[in-house]
Amino acid sequence: MTSTTSSIRWSPTTPLARIRVAELMDDPALDPREHHAALAGLKRLNAWSKSARILWPSIARLAVDVNAQGRPLRVMDVATGSGDGPMAMAKLARRQGLNINWTLCDCSSRALEVAQQNAHAIGERVNLLRVDLLREQLPARADVVICSLFIHHLDDDTGRAAMRTMASAADVAVGIADLDRSNAGLALAWIGSRVLTRSRIVHFDAIASVRAAFTLEEVQTMAHEAGLHDASVSRVWPARWRLWWQRPVVETTREVRK
């Protein structure tokens, strides 16, 4: 463990080559108490970085249009983890008077239990689906399929596959947000993780995640190769990128009528 940790330690001269190591959070043998503590730490880190607001403006605009048609917007969050991202957006939706139905997907039953607790804590009803995005097709459809802070776990091939799977279940749009691999991102991850949580899991995984992240240019190429042509990819604070892809109007109309 010592050698692995030192190999990803930040310094001003850290190269930007992509380096992937196993994150501690993904260890199936991780003690449940440490897992819950790490999820709580990540929740604070995501709240500080305002992760939920990265995709929210586009989701809110679609919700306004769909609600005007007399129905809720259906949003599916894949690889949801503890669900703190969509639940933060659920709070924003309430404040803005928007009607959204949330479906939370993850391959971990432990994570889904926490997601259910988080939803219950704010009085939000959600649909929970245990599904492995990399091995299964999504068993339901949604207007928008979103994903945050997951793509950096993947290689190029599985990243493209995940994008295709998300697009195949999305009637209208796909939204993805993740870390941007950069020295600034490494610095923010190191400082933020240590200021906001004492979890050793988060301390390690925060740095590992940035080192494993894709750059904006790499994501643009990946999206094009996955068939998400004309996807909009942009940098957002803090040291992240945002991808938003919508089906062509004719194709969207056909999907919604099914």
Q: What is the pLDDT of residues 198-248, one digit of tens each?
A: 999 999 999 999 999 999 999 999 999 999 999 999 999 889 999 999 998
- The yes-or-no verdict on residue 1 having pLDDT over 70 is no
Contact residues for 120 (Cβ-Cβ < 8 A; gap 6+):
none
- The yes-or-no verdict on residue 165 having pLDDT over 90 is yes
Q: What is the pLDDT of residues 183-192, one digit of tens each?
A: 989 999 999 9
- The yes-or-no verdict on residue 127 having pLDDT over 90 is yes
Which of 12-26, 64-78, 188-202 has the weakest average pLDDT? 12-26
Residue 245 confidence (pLDDT): 98
- The yes-or-no verdict on residue 7 having pLDDT over 50 is no
Question: 12: pLDDT confidence band, cut at 50, 70 and 90?
Answer: very low
Structure token digits, residue 168: 């195949």
Q: What's the chain's average pLDDT?
A: 89
More confident residue, 28 or 63: 63
The rounded distance, in Å, linking the Cα atoms of 92 and 206 is: 26
Structure token digits, residue 90: 């659920």
Question: 42: pLDDT confidence band, cut at 50, 70 and 90?
Answer: confident
Residue 32 confidence (pLDDT): 87
Residue 46 confidence (pLDDT): 77
Which of 127-131, 138-142, 235-239 has the weakest average pLDDT? 235-239
Residue 49 confidence (pLDDT): 82
Residue 47 confidence (pLDDT): 80
Residue 101 confidence (pLDDT): 98
SS (H, E, C) the chain: CHHHHHHCCCCCCCCCCCCCCCCHHHCCCCCHHHHHHHHHHHHHHHHHHCCHHHHHHHHHHHHHHHHCCCCCEEEEEECCCCCHHHHHHHHHHHHCCCCEEEEEEECCHHHHHHHHHHHHHCCCCEEEEECCCCCCCCCCCEEEEEEECCHHHCCHHHHHHHHHHHHHHEEEEEEEEEECCCHHHHHHHHHHHHHHCCCHHHHHHHHHHHHHCCCHHHHHHHHHHCCCCCCEEEEECCCEEEEEEECCHHHHHHHHHC
Question: 52: pLDDT confidence band, cut at 50, 70 and 90?
Answer: confident
Question: Do 66 and 73 touch, CB atoms closer than 8 A?
Answer: yes
Read off the amino acid at residue 143. Answer: D
- The yes-or-no verdict on residue 10 having pLDDT over 70 is no
Structure token digits, residue 203: 């301390």
- The yes-or-no verdict on residue 138 having pLDDT over 90 is yes
Which CATH number is associated with domain 32-257?
3.40.50.150
Residues facing residue 175 across a β-bridge: 146, 244
| Nearest residue to 146 (alpha-carbon basis) of 158, 130, 133 | 133
Residue 251 confidence (pLDDT): 57
